[in-house]
C-alpha cells in the first residue's frame, strides 16, 4: 500500500473505533514507524489541512502506542484571545510547531508559528515566532481546527505569574517553580474526571510604578465550555519582609482555598469531579516541597 492510500485510509475513518479497526490490519512495529515517518512530514504544518492530518496521525499513534518515542498529543485550544494549536507531551511541554490562528473570510490562517525542540527530532532546532512573522500562510475553509480525541489527560494546574523583578516576586516565583516540579510528580490527572482541564492559579505581584493591593486570593467562576477554573493570588512588597516559611504558608494555604472554592462551585452545579483526590495530590506535592526546604 502506497503512502497516499495509507493516509487516505486514516483520514477516512470517522470515529476512533473506525480508525482502530483500520489500523488493526497492520503489524504494530512497522505501523508505528510508518505513522511517525508520516508525522514528521506534518509537524511543521502550514495550513489547517496539514494540521488535520497531524491530529489524525497522533490519534493513530495513541491507539497503537508510541513505543520508545515520546508521546505527544495534537490539541487545539482557545486561549481567550485566539485559537492555538500545538503538540504537547505528558508534562504539558510543547514539541514541534506551535501556532496561533486567524479566522478570515477565506478560512483559517496560521500566523506567527514557533517551533519547540523534540528529543525525537534533535537535529531540528527550536525558534521563536519572529522567524515566520512576515510569512503569509494559506487559508483553508473549514468549520473548525480539529483536536485530538484520545489525548492523554494533562496535569491541570497552571500557575502563571505577573509582576516586576523585585524581592516579593522573586520569592513567590521560587516557590511556584519548586511546587510545579512536585505537582508533575504527584498529580494523577486521569483519576479526577473529565470536567476540569485547566486549573489556573495566577500570581499577581507588585509592578513598577503601580500600587499593589494587599495580599489576597480572588476566585473566579468555573467555565463549563472550556472546563476551566481560575483563581488569582495578589501580593505586594510587604511579602518580601515575611519569613520564607510565612511566604510558603500564604502561597500553599491560598492554593488549597482555591481548590475548596472549586469544589463548592462544582457541587452547586452538580458537576462530577474528584476534587478530594485532586486536593490530596496537591497536598502531597506541597508536603514534598516543604520537605525539600527542610520543613
Helices (H), 89-160: none
**What kind and span of H or E run contains 268?**
helix 244-269
pLDDT 10s digits, 156-203: 999 999 987 889 999 999 999 999 999 999 999 989 999 998 999 999
**Which of the four pLDDT bands, split at 50, 70 and 90, describes residue 294?**
confident
Q: Is the pLDDT of residue 212 over 70?
A: no
Separation of alpha carbons 48 and 74, rounded Å: 13
Other Cβ atoms closer than 10 A to 195: 15
Q: Is the pLDDT of residue 210 over 70?
A: no
Minimal CA–CA distance to 156: which of 230, 82, 104, 47? Answer: 230
Place of cell 497516499: 4
Return the C-alpha cell found at 60: 493513530
Separation of alpha carbons 31 and 38, rounded Å: 10
Look at residue 211 in the predicted model and tell me its pLDDT: 66
Look at residue 292 in the predicted model and tell me its pLDDT: 84
**Which of the four pLDDT bands, split at 50, 70 and 90, describes residue 105?**
very high
pLDDT 10s digits, 30-76: 999 999 999 999 999 999 999 999 999 999 999 999 999 999 999 99
Give the residue extent of every domain in the chain. 3-132, 157-292
Return the C-alpha cell found at 276: 478530594
Give whole-number Cα distances, 118 to 13, 82, 124, 129, 217, in Å.
Answer: 28, 25, 8, 17, 37
pLDDT 10s digits, 232-253: 999 999 999 999 999 999 999 9
Angle ∠(258,264,268) on CA atoms, nearest 5 = 150
Q: Are 9 and 22 in contact (CB under 8 A)?
A: yes
**What kind and span of H or E run contains 17?**
helix 16-23
Separation of alpha carbons 242 and 215, rounded Å: 12
Residues whose CB falls within 8 Å of the CB of residue 68, separated by 6 or more in sequence, listed in order: none
Mean pLDDT value of segment 270-284: 97
Separation of alpha carbons 172 and 211, rounded Å: 18
**Which of the four pLDDT bands, split at 50, 70 and 90, describes residue 7?**
confident
Look at residue 259 in the predicted model and tell me its pLDDT: 98
Alpha-carbon dihedral angle through residues 141, 48, 196, 204, given to the nearest 10 degrees: -100
- Helix axes 16-23 and 3-12, enclosed angle (nearest 10): 150
Q: Is the pLDDT of residue 3 over 90?
A: no
pLDDT 10s digits, 141-160: 999 999 999 998 889 999 99
Look at residue 2 in the predicted model and tell me its pLDDT: 62
Q: Is the pLDDT of residue 90 over 90?
A: no
Which has more confidence, 190 or 293? 190
Q: Is the pLDDT of residue 228 over 90?
A: yes
Look at residue 6 in the predicted model and tell me its pLDDT: 86
Q: Is the pLDDT of residue 209 over 60?
A: no
Separation of alpha carbons 295 and 125, rounded Å: 41
Look at residue 1 in the predicted model and tell me its pLDDT: 61
Instruction: Please tell me the pTM assigned to this model.
Output: 0.73
Amino acid at each position: 500500500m502506497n503512502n497516499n492510500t495509507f493516509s487516505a485510509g486514516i483520514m477516512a475513518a470517522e470515529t476512533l473505533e473506525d480508525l482502530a479497526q483500520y489500523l488493526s490490519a497492520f503489524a504494530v512495529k512497522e505501523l508505528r514507524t510508518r505513522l511517525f515517518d508520516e508525522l514528521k512530514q506534518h509537524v511543521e504544518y502550514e495550513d489547517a489541512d496539514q494540521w488535520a492530518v497531524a491530529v489524525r496521525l497522533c490519534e493513530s499513534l495513541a491507539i497503537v502506542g508510541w513505543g520508545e518515542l515520546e508521546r505527544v498529543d495534537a490539541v487545539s485550544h482557545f486561549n481567550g484571545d485566539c485559537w492555538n494549536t500545538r503538540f504537547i507531551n505528558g508534562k504539558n511541554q510543547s514539541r514541534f510547531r506551535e501556532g496561533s490562528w486567524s479566522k478570515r473570510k477565506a478560512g483559517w490562517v496560521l500566523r506567527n508559528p514557533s517551533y519547540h525542540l523534540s528529543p525525537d527530532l534533535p537535529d531540528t532546532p527550536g525558534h521563536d515566532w519572529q522567524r515566520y512573522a512576515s510569512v503569509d500562510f494559506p487559508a483553508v475553509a473549514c468549520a473548525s481546527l480539529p483536536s485530538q480525541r484520545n489525548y492523554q489527560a494533562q496535569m491541570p494546574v497552571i500557575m502563571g505569574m505577573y509582576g516586576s523583578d523585585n524581592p516579593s516576586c522573586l520569592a513567590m516565583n521560587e516557590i511556584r517553580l519548586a511546587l510545579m516540579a512536585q505537582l508533575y510528580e504527584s498529580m494523577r490527572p486521569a483519576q479526577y474526571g473529565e470536567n476540569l482541564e485547566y486549573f489556573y492559579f495566577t500570581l499577581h505581584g507588585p509592578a513598577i510604578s503601580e500600587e499593589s493591593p494587599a495580599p489576597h486570593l480572588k476566585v473566579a467562576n468555573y467555565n463549563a465550555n472550556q472546563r476551566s477554573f481560575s483563581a488569582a493570588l495578589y501580593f505586594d512588597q510587604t511579602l518580601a519582609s515575611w519569613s520564607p516559611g510565612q511566604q510558603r504558608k500564604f502561597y500553599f494555604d491560598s492554593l488549597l482555598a482555591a481548590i475548596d472554592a472549586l469544589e463548592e462551585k462544582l457541587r452547586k452545579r452538580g458537576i462530577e469531579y474528584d476534587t478530594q483526590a485532586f486536593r490530596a495530590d496537591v497536598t502531597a506535592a506541597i508536603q514534598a516541597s516543604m520537605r525539600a526546604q527542610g520543613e
